[in-house]
Structure 1
Amino acid sequence: MNNAFIGIPGELLKPHASPCLSIFMPTHRTFPDNAQDSLRFKNLVTKAEADGISLVGKREMAPLIERLRLLQDDASFWKHTLDGLAVFISPDYFRIFRLQDSVIEQARVSDAFYVRPLIRIYQTVERFQVLALTRSEVKLYEGTRDQLDEIELAPEVPKTMTEALGTEVTPPHMTVASYGGTGAAMRHGHSSRKDEEALDNERFFRAVDQGIAEYHSKPSGLPLVLAALPEHQGLFRSISRNPRLFDAGIETDPGALDLEAVRQKAWKVMEPYREQKIDQMIARFREAEGKNLGSDNPYAIATAAVAGNVSLLLLDGRKFWPGQIDPASGDILLDEASQASGRDVLEEMGAAVLARGGEVIVLLPERMPTESGAAAIFRHA
């Protein structure tokens, strides 16, 4: 089970033992709206079971359905849902995503996972993480301009100074001496309390930086905004080796901010970066287009995507094109059957590009450089 809102992991795009079950459904954050979520999940599991039995047989489906029924009956899980849920299970894989966006309810059984609904959620340029850091506590948030949620820290990331340093938290070193033969004791610190705290801070922050970089920033690839007091900002940045850490941060005590205030302040940091990044991507596309290394023609893009010839794909996050792409030729299929499947040509383009090591970015319509809903930079002409 995984609660982090990381980008689409490459493991989902790789081949897995068949059958592969993909379940998506909208969920709710609070009672009483979330009271029916487990029942809706039960119905989706029942559908997946029936479809799977007709496809591969009851024996192959039974162990997968058993694991899903355990999740269905986990009352504590359904009390802590967000706005959507995605579940992927096969004989060699099981992963759960709590989503910050609602999704269309569906259950699919195939020889590969159906990841396309995740593309519009996880490939947006607006996603970021916030590290809230004090001497006594560490929290990590992830979200977009509209929604921010706390995520569970990896076990390797210390959550407190005591957890990071244990008994090695530096105590003040004292000696006792008698003066004037009176027996009066006077205590002398070999180093000041301030120096000791600075040493503890440095060791603590170094451990946090290493854990966040390795177990959160590296797998997610998301920019990281630091929320901390000004004096802690300077120290943390001086020791950090995290390439995802932003130069700008939230210079205040994060413990004094509620979640909404953190989101607002973080977005003020992120927004200029987002606009600059979009401008750079559009400029790259225009330059590539002028050299016949870019296109907004969906048919050309689909063929190139299947062939592994797309390095960057920009998609309109609001445009939906019913249909599908032939996985072998890249032909776009717009017949009645393919349109009735509920599949989306643009999302299938994105999935093909991601599966072949390309980058996919979902933009708002007003920032798209084309009218077609897609813009691609090719690896070669």
Structure 2
Amino acid sequence: MAGAGSEPFQASEHQHIRYNPLQDEWVLVSAHRMRRPWQGQLEPPVPENIPRHDPSNPLCPGATRANGEVNPLYESTFLFDNDFPALQPDAPSPGPSDHPLFRAEPARGVCKVLCFHPWSDITLPLMSVPEIRTVIDTWAKVAGDLGAEYPWVQIFENKGAMMGCSNPHPHCQVWASSFLPDVPRREDRNQREYLSRHGEPLLLAYGRQEAQRKERLVLANEDWLVLVPYWAVWPFQTLLLPRRHVLRLQDLQPGERDSLAAIMKQLLTKYDNLFETSFPYSMGWHGAPTGSLGEAEAGHWQLHAHYYPPLLRSATVRKFMVGYEMLAQAQRDLTPEQAAERLRQLPEDHFRQRQEKA
């Protein structure tokens, strides 16, 4: 086995692995690989000629959806049952297994779609802060309503065709399930263990540390922090955290919802400005379990949102999770500190609005 090198360690130059205490996983950081030439796949440019209203688009006001229902002429948010749900409330049970290697359990739930805005040619960073606040209020209400029955309510947005989104209209999905999925199950276990060992919630302690260190901090206001996690996997991944101890979206106070809308607009504008494109990502909210699980002690939880954007070098070069990532563990090239610095330096006025003024 080769011995350690004699030169001093630099995170931006030397490979190393970093621990993710939220998921109990490691990520390989290899920042020197950013110098390699790119000869891989280039993504097509994002179309900019999206019509504001398309009667054939099933998410538009007044449009007819696949099940024959006609959308109302909504002027704000619009929540409805997914016409092709992955989870249904009345699915039969698979029954007992005849062997421990062939286990199946019941899976029931509800899937909804939430349109953010009546216009198809707009995205969250181009919406006003009050409009984003309305989205947040709707998130909180649906999380509370479905959480009264189901132990897990997953709010998530897939933005852009690169992330598998088939419809450009601004929207997200809400899946409520009768079971606790794998990722929140690991977060639940690791946050519980951290509280037991250290006497405070993991993400509350982590947010305080990042606010003090500042090297991975992207944005901050009186109630919220946006940072590139120390253990980030995706190139410009961010974590959105409340400063105080909050369990769930529905627990946010009115002022915290206002400041959340403001910091979301700032973050998503920076994302779009990074490569001057409508920045693709998958994002989602994680809070304490609800339903019957919500009756248990949940003080180890801290509400947070994950943003996972795939773009690496430009609007057309993305990060792929293949090979080593699929067979061994996650790996990234750009360090989290480098990513945070690039995001911090970006303007907070949207590039499209600057272009319109020019």
Answer whether TM exceeds 0.5 for this pair.
no
Name which one, 1 or 2, has greater alpha-carbon Rg: 1
Q: If each structure's helix is expressed as a fraction of its own residues, which one has the higher value?
A: 1
Say which structure, 1 or 2, has more relative contact order (CA 8 Å, 6+ apart): 2
Shorter-normalised TM range: under 0.3
Q: TM-score, normalised by structure 2?
A: 0.27
Q: TM-score, normalised by structure 1?
A: 0.25
